[in-house]
Amino acid sequence: MRRGVIGPALALALLAAAPPVAARADDGRAARAAEDRAAQAVEDHAARPVPLDRLFDNRAVSDDARPGAADFDGSGASLSAQDLAAAGWTPGRSLTVQGARLTWPRPAAGRPDNVRADGQTVRVRGRGDALAFLAAGTGGEDLTGTGTVRYADGSRSAYRLDVGDWRTGPLATKAVALPHVNTPGGRLAERARLYVVTVPLARGREVASVHLPREPDLHVFALSVRGDTAGWTGSWAASTSGQPPAGPWTDRTLRLVVHTSAGGPRVRLRFDNTFAGTPVRIGAATVAVRESGAAPRRAPVPLSFRGAAGTGIPAGAQEFSDPLGFDVPADTDLLVSFHLPGTVAAAPVHSLAVQRSYVSEPGDHTADASGAPYTSTIATWPLLTGVDVSGGPGSVVLLGDSITDGEKSTVDASRRWPDVLSDRLRAQREVPRYGVLNQGISANRVVTDRYPGDGVSTDTGGVSALHRLDRDVFAQTSARTAVVFQGINDVRWGATADQVIAGLREIAGRAHARGVRVLAATVAPCEGEARCTAAADAQRTAVNAYLRSTGDFDGVLDFDAVLRDPDRPARMLPAYDSGDHLHPGDAGLAALADSVDLRELVP
């Protein structure tokens, strides 16, 4: 018998509990009313929320030696337990993805480990900004379903869930991809995908239960409420732009230099193993204020992870350090050091740091109060994606391409336009002094992936703004307002204005659904750069015309008007041009930041 549905005996008992019904014909209405009450009682009983694992009715995972023990998609195909273990997704393992803590099902291979969504009511508790589903579709195409969240106060909200297919869905948005698919006839060398998808919740209300969509090809493995990040402000962040070859590093310590925006008395760090296919081990980690080079001002302070000195991060997951009492100054360089005891030959990175960081000689040098062991430099930020400080008003997230990323700004000087914007926020008292999170990626586009979203690749242009929006904006710490400054790479590489506009419109709609204020910046001129042809400029101009006239965004920053040459509007003012006609230099980046009306950042 299917869980959540009561049998005939209980139904009869509920009918017997109804008031007696007279045999006279004119009492027929009373009889029908009693039957309706009994039927409603049956329905209410069936809809009582139960934990997700009590609803599991499908076997998705098989042992490679017994592939016939599971049938995920109705054709006998299944996920490999060995592949999952190699990715760090072991039974009962707690995983953090997009800030949500989820548990991979505990049942062993060949046992029920997921539920086919068919309107079941799941017991879920918590307060937060989003509901997170660990899920995948099996119908051969991406799926969309709708469901309902019930809150403890009796109110409800509807949600829409879009989930990729486990064999054909987008790799750019998957949580993890596995190298094989098990079938009764043997293993197929085909990528199997699992997705973590979040949907917005009514803020401040306690979730009591979740009504799943009626879409049996949609499989749910885990479900949780992503907690609010109230009490924390993002001080620094970087987007993962790809997974290129690295090192290889074996028994090395990386000491990364990052520049804070907001300060606070406590700190926590975030490490992401995004896009990876295997776990990575961090043996130890520390934080310190930088004096110069790789040398700290004072001895580095150890971090912990769930009480331990180090941590393993499964493929596609992330890890936050435990909160640490450590005074983080605003507008200051920090040294974040972490030891990699194993061999790392490829790593998720932010490729354009515009900042030198350091790699040590062999050994754990996280606690070293000298920079002497750090004998080589790197120009990327591997694995580290966030620095949060306690207190503060929350964060402004800047979603952009190379201009936001800081291409052509002075190396080691923190002169990107987000840095200058942070300086302005700290120097005033009119609006809250938000943390500023730079989520620019060099070569990034609105509607097309540069990096395919899986595997080792030398292309570090990132997945599209549409595909990284959830991770790089909505999952960022205490995000209050987002600024979108993208589109030039799309039109330079042949996208039409209509395609870019559709992408920007979707970003605005998704931000508003999350309760995030969203601003757009007009696309800057670039005449003289090889790909900035007259045809590309016509598309750029059309995108800007839309931005200046639309009501889709909460405000528009006219960066085109700031940078353009009044005598030749298709090109950048020479005083702001770095020399390549595409990227502003320090003066142009400062002009962008100075042009922002800070009041526009306030939700």
pLDDT tens digits, one per residue of 514-525: 999 999 999 999
pLDDT tens digits, one per residue of 434-469: 999 999 999 999 999 999 999 999 999 999 999 999
Residue 30, pLDDT score: 57
More confident residue, 7 or 371: 371
Q: Is the pLDDT of residue 34 over 80?
A: no
Taken in order of first residue, the domains within the chain and their CATH numbers are 8-46 (no CATH), 52-226 (no CATH), 393-603 (3.40.50.1110)
CA gap 273, 278 in Å, rounded: 9
CA gap 131, 150 in Å, rounded: 12
pLDDT tens digits, one per residue of 327-358: 999 999 999 999 999 999 999 999 999 999 99
**What's the whole-number average pLDDT of the chain?**
93
Q: Show the 3-state SS of 78-119.
A: EEEHHHHHHCCCCCCCEEEECCEEEECCCCCCCCCCEEEEEC
Q: Are 389 and 237 in contact (CB under 8 A)?
A: no
pLDDT tens digits, one per residue of 95-150: 999 999 999 999 999 999 999 999 999 999 999 999 999 999 999 999 999 999 99
CA gap 260, 255 in Å, rounded: 16
Q: Which residues are within 8 A (CB) of 292 and not within 5 positions of it... i.e. 6 or more apart?
A: none
Q: Which residues are within 8 A (CB) of 465 and not within 5 positions of it... i.e. 6 or more apart?
A: 399, 444, 445, 446, 447, 484, 486, 503, 507
- With cut-offs at 50, 70 and 90, classify the pLDDT of residue 14: very low
Residue 353, pLDDT score: 98
325, burial (CB in 10 Å: exposed 0-12, middle 13-18, buried 19+): exposed
State CA 152 to chain mean position distance.
27
Q: What is the average pLDDT across 4-10? A: 36
Residue 19, pLDDT score: 40
More confident residue, 22 or 162: 162
Percent of the chain at pLDDT exceeding 70: 92
Q: Is the pLDDT of residue 550 over 50?
A: yes
- With cut-offs at 50, 70 and 90, classify the pLDDT of residue 155: very high
CA gap 484, 502 in Å, rounded: 14
CA gap 558, 597 in Å, rounded: 11
- Kindly report the CA angle at 64 between 62 and 70, in degrees rounded to 5? 20
Residue 567, pLDDT score: 97
23, burial (CB in 10 Å: exposed 0-12, middle 13-18, buried 19+): exposed
Query: What interhelical angle do 534-549 and 497-513 show, nearest 10?
Result: 30
Residue 166, pLDDT score: 98
CA gap 554, 470 in Å, rounded: 19
Q: Show the 3-state SS of 497-538.
A: HHHHHHHHHHHHHHHHHCCCEEEEECCCCCCCCCCCCHHHHH
Q: Write phi, then psi, for 426 (nearest 5 degrees).
A: -70, -30
Is the entire prediction scored with pTM above 0.85?
yes
CA gap 96, 531 in Å, rounded: 41
Residue 230, pLDDT score: 87
Q: Is the pLDDT of residue 433 over 50?
A: yes
Q: Is the pLDDT of residue 5 over 80?
A: no
